[in-house]
Amino acid sequence: MIEQWQKDLIARYLAAYNAFEIEAMLAQLDPAVRFENFAGGQLTAETSGIDAFRALAEQSKAMFSEREQRVTGLALDGETVVADIAWRGKLAAGVPDGPPAGTLLEMNGRSEFSFGAGGITKIVDRS
């Protein structure tokens, strides 16, 4: 059973992500947080520790003029909470050899959250 405190941590983390509030995002994380992002089965980004996570979050923040992660479902897989995610974001700047600024991107994926006494200890995003 997914505990209410786990749902609350995820909700606060995603609300801060959607609002570009990096300090509020970090407040939900364990200092030793591990982050991994997979796109098409390939590892595209990873961090260990809150300082590395902060740096990646700052870099990501600059890429989008708006963004939203919306939970469409939650399930428990062992000790991990798996959230089905509908994601959308509008590019703040053009991508070299890619879409121009203002392009709206949308995708579905999932985020896997692990927890400890200090907050969220691991996030694995898959799209």
Question: Quick check: 80 and 123 in contact, CB under 8 A?
Answer: no
- Burial of 74: CB neighbours in 10 Å, binned 0-12, 13-18, 19+: middle
Express each pLDDT in 91-100 by its tens digit.
Answer: 999 989 999 9
What is the amino acid identity at position 48?
A: S
Work out the number of other CB atoms within 10 angstroms of the CB of residue 15: 14
Structure confidence by residue, pLDDT tens digits, 33-89: 999 999 999 999 999 999 999 999 999 999 999 999 999 999 999 999 999 999 999
Residue-number span of the structural domain to which 87 is assigned:
4-126
d(CA 42, CA 31): 26
Q: What is the DSSP letter of 49?
A: S
- pLDDT tens, 16-32? 999 999 999 999 999 99
CB atoms within 10 A of CB 36: 16
pLDDT confidence of residue 101: 95
How many structural domains is the chain composed of? 1
Indicate which CATH number applies to the domain containing 73: 3.10.450.50
Please name the residues in contact with 43: beta carbons below 8 A apart, sequence gap of 6 or more: 36, 37
Edge to edge, the sheet with strand 64-77 lists: 42-48, 29-39, 119-126, 104-116, 80-91, 64-77
State the amino acid at position 124 in one-letter form: V
Determine the pLDDT at residue 95: 87
